[in-house]
Amino acid sequence: MLHFTAEFAGLTGILAGVCIAFYGWGLAAHRISKRPAENPAMTIAVGLAVVVFLGGVLNLLRIAYGGVLDGLLIAGFALAVTGDSPGLKLPRNKSDWGQALFLFIAIAVIMGLTVETQLHPGVFNYHDDFEKYFSHPVRMLQTGTLFGSPLAALGSETLGGQAVLHGMVLRHFPISYINGADAVFGLFLCLILSVSVTPLRAVFLPIALICPILVFSINQQYVNVSALYTAVALMMTSILMPASPPGDKTGSMDTLPSPLLMGLLYAALISLKSTFAVFPPLHLIFFVMALAAFGSDFRRALRCGFAVAGMTSLFLSPWILLHLPHYIHMFTGTASGMTGGPGISGRFPDLLSAHPVLLYGASFAHYTFIALAIILSVLGVIFWKRGTRLAPEAAALAGLASGGGAIAAVYLLLIALGPVASGYSTNLRYTIPFLIAGAPILLSRVYLWAIRDESIRFKLFFSIVPVLSGILIVISFSDTLAARIRQGKEIGSILAFSKLAGDPEYIGYNREVLYGGTEQRIRSAQNYIPAGAAVVAWITCPFYLDYRRNTIYNAEPAGLATPWAGLPDADYFMMEYRGGGVRSFDYFEKSSRYSAGHDRYIAGKCIEFMRTIAEVKKGSAVIYNDGGIVIFKKPGK
């Protein structure tokens, strides 16, 4: 207990420092855009977007080392201290202080549970995390850039935005703490964003209290350390910025959002993970259309849309330029062009089915209800206010409509794309961050519109509906929430593939990787390769390789499926063929027959790669073999 208390206290200080640093960068962005920074939580999220953009610049310049990342935080802290900040607005009376206390307790309890189980979980995903995400910040901190292997998923599944945040953690803490960037900081930012929507007044307590509980209770089907809550926070802020009701100061004072701020948020979101790229264009298109529908000058609305798109492109450009050599190679190189197998068969799923058929818990009905609660509540406000033509109010309604429309459209679109991706159930998991972002923000916005309306009928109905919807969502996920908390306490992880995550052999493998002799084993093997030589590495834990010693082209399944993937010019090959986490040729053959569309394609590319390596190995000189890892030198080299 004493250890946990000390750890929690230390983490609180670190978390506060990071928030202040990001707040400073957010203030700078608001100052440049000439918009007041009225909402501290939104300002922190904008600062997060700025840091991700600057991280892209540093990677492009090949100087994204640990000390430079520390400099970003120090500079942000200085900007916060010296900047003209509006500061926090304290409650005005005792009842309002009571609301603040309730919200503080709710957030503290949630963060306490999270820190205990997720700050440094005992179990990680032995494929996605160990093979892929862990190696990204390691490469960046050692070489100054994420650019490297054409056989890895960087540039396709992710541009590298999350690796910047992971690098900030890894700079000062062991790699087992890497999850703190998203599961702790990201979640905390989502929680304070969810309560920042409503003023600290007793009348707003029902919706204000349900919002952070919503964020925490929705089963996020957690499977790896990639971006989840950091992306949710950016989406929340993107929805909030153009959707502020008249008289509210959580968004801009102008009738339209700042293109610079929106561009920062959109670009950061896209850089985190490719699946999030679907949100910005839909959200922006819906906003421009809604502006026109609510009486705004169409040319002005269109100019706003183009300005936001231009700013998004600008702030995304460092990440695109970073991976541009891969993209060019896609058209001019010799990358193989094997086509994937046919997509999955079967009928479109029953989105209202309460049958628990999903691999990672809950049912389609659970998540469909969230989408319906969002869109129906938003439509109710829009229908009631359909005659509004006052510019500020109409722009805020357009923001509300675009948020609800984008969340609903993303939900349906991603599920519909199941056959060409990883299947309907897996694609449902990809929709969850969007639903977590939309539910607390849009339901609370509907509540605010109701409370501030003059009509008693509208006030009563639409102040009850969001609260009741939120309560029903929380209740529907109560069983899976309890299971996650129980699993977290018992095995130190909330990985959604709970049966495997709780297996003693799997837990033992994770402990061996994180705290056993795996690092020394890999480093010892690498020493057999001459310093400075290029090596293709197909191993389960490439994050233990020394990227400064050798030019390393680490390969992993998703990376082999990129359009630019091809065997690089390397003299040495390090292959792991036996041990925990190793996937055999037979494994990929079975996957190529029975998996969904994209997973089948990945399996086919892995088979192709393994056959190519087998051909290269013929006649090669084996210089190391410990019974699990073999190193050989290409013939004639």
Residues 315 and 417 in one domain: yes
Q: How many residues does the chain have?
A: 637
Query: Which has more pLDDT, 89 or 427?
Result: 427
Residue 510 pLDDT exceeds 70: yes
Name residue, tokens 């100054």.
144
Residue 163: inside a domain, yes or no? yes
* pLDDT of the residue at 9: 65
Q: Is 512 within a domain?
A: no
**Alpha carbon distance 177, 629 (integer Å):** 27
Degrees, nearest 5: CA angle 197-46-268: 120
Q: Indicate whether 623 belongs to any domain.
A: yes
Q: How far is residue 84's CA from residue 35's CA, in Å, rounded to a whole number?
A: 12
Residue with the two structure tokens 């068969």: 345
Whether the predicted pLDDT of 529 surpasses 90? yes
Domain membership flag for residue 497: no
- 630 phi and psi, to 5 degrees? -120, 140
The mean pLDDT of 238-253, rounded to a whole number, is 63
Report the pLDDT value the prediction gives residue 228, as an integer from 0 to 100.
95
Q: Which two tokens stand for residue 413?
A: 């679109």
Q: Which residue has the higher pLDDT, 546 or 252?
A: 546
Instruction: Return d(Cα 480, Cα 490) in angstroms, integer.
Output: 15
Taking residues 78-92, report their average pLDDT: 75
Indicate whether 503 belongs to any domain.
no
Place of tokens 């030019």: 551
Where are the alpha helices (H) located in 83-204, listed in sequence order?
94-118, 135-143, 161-170, 187-196
- Band of the pLDDT at 164, cuts 50, 70, 90? very high
Looking at the structure, do residues 293 and 335 belong to the same domain, yes or no?
Answer: yes
Same domain, 418 and 538: no
Of the ranges 301-305, 545-549, 576-580, the best mean pLDDT one: 545-549
Q: d(Cα 481, Cα 486) in Å, to the nearest integer?
A: 9
**Model pLDDT, residue 262:** 97
Considering only 35-39, 269-273, 342-346, which range has the smallest mean pLDDT?
342-346
Each residue of 323-373: pLDDT tens digit? Answer: 999 999 888 765 543 344 444 445 788 888 887 767 677 889 999 999 999
Domain span including residue 621 = 518-633
Lowest average pLDDT, out of 215-224, 384-393, 492-501, goes to 384-393
Domain identity same for 172 and 215: yes
* pLDDT surpasses 60 at 637: no
Cα–Cα distance measured from residue 245 to residue 451, given in angstroms and rounded to the nearest whole number? 11
Residue 56 in any domain: the answer is yes
Q: Does 52 share its domain with 180?
A: yes
Q: In terms of domains, do 474 and 615 share one?
A: no
% of the chain residues with pLDDT over 70: 90
Could you give the number of structural domains in the chain?
Answer: 2
Same domain? For 271 and 331 the reply is yes
Cα separation, 271 vs 432, in Å, equals: 18
Q: What is the pLDDT averaged over residues 256-284?
A: 96
Q: Are residues 482 and 530 in the same domain?
A: no
Torsion of CA 261, 262, 267, 268, to 10 degrees: 60
629-633 vs 572-576, strand pairing mode: antiparallel
Residue 511 domain flag: no
Same-domain check for residues 445 and 560: no
Nearest to 599 by CA among 427, 411, 367, 358: 427
* pLDDT of 252 above 50: no
Contact by Cβ (8 Å): 424, 469: no
Both 363 and 478 in a single domain? yes
**475 and 526 part of one domain:** no
What the block records as the tokens of 357 is 């058929």
DSSP 629: E
- Find where tokens 């549970």 sit: 113
Percent of the chain whose pLDDT exceeds 90: 64
Q: What are phi and psi of 624, to 5 degrees?
A: -160, 140
Does 124 have pLDDT greater than 80?
Answer: yes
Give the mean pLDDT of 111-119.
88
Give the gyration radius of the chain's Cα atoms: 25
pLDDT in tens, 380-419: 888 887 766 556 677 888 899 999 999 999 999 999 888 8
| H-run or E-run covering 538 | strand 534-538
- Give a yes or no: residue 394 inside a domain: yes
Q: Which amino acid is at 438?
A: G
Indicate the pairing of strand 551-554 with strand 534-538.
parallel
DSSP string, 248-309: --SS-SSSS--HHHHHHHHHHHHHH-GGGGGHHHHHHHHHHHHHHHTT--HHHHHHHHHHHH
Return phi, psi of residue 598, to 5°.
Answer: -70, -40
In terms of domains, do 474 and 545 share one?
Answer: no
Both tokens of residue 552? 């390393």
- The pLDDT value recorded for residue 342 is 41
Mean pLDDT, rounded, of the chain? 88
